[in-house]
Amino acid sequence: MALNDKSRNEAVLKAITANRLRDGEVIFLAPGPDLGWVERLDDAALFEDATTAETVLAAAKAKAEGEQFAVDVYAFDLRVTDGQRVPVKTRERIRALGPTVRIDLGKQAAA
C-alpha cells in the first residue's frame, strides 16, 4: 500500500475494530449510540478526535466483551483518500480487505 504524497496530507482519523468471538470475523464499530458492529470498514464509525475515539472505545470494549460478542477491541488510524477509507498500517488494510495473496477471499471478495 504505497501512500502517495497527497494522502499524507489527509487528516488521520480513527475507527474501532475487533474480532467477533463466535467466528473470528473482523468487525468495526458502527456509528450511533447503541455501539453495534458492522463487517465492512465502509460502514464503520469514524472519529476525527482521538479523545472521543478513546472514550467510545472504552464503552464499546466494555459492552462487546461483556456480552461475549467481540474480542481484541482496539482503535486504529486511517485516512480518507479520494473517497476511499485507507488504514494507515498495512496490517489493518489486510484485516479490512483480506489476504493480498488471495484476493478471491475475505471481505475484498464480496465487494
Contact window for another protein (CB under 8 A) among 33-41, 46-54, 62-70, 78-86: 62-70
Dist CA 8 CA 43 (whole Å): 23
Output the CA–CA distances (angstroms, integers) from residue 5 to 2, 12, 75, in the order listed: 9, 14, 24
User: Are 27 and 19 in contact, with CB atoms under 8 Å apart?
Assistant: yes
Residues 6-45 within binding reach of another protein (CB under 8 A):
19, 21-26
Contact window for another protein (CB under 8 A) among 7-15, 29-37, 54-62, 92-100: 92-100
Closest distance of CB 89 from another protein, Å: 6
Dist CA 75 CA 13 (whole Å): 10
Regarding 102 and contact with another protein (CB under 8 A), the answer is yes
In sequence order, what are the beta bridge partners of 37? 29
Binding site for another protein (CB under 8 A): 19, 21-26, 65, 67-68, 71-72, 88-91, 94-95, 98-102, 105-106
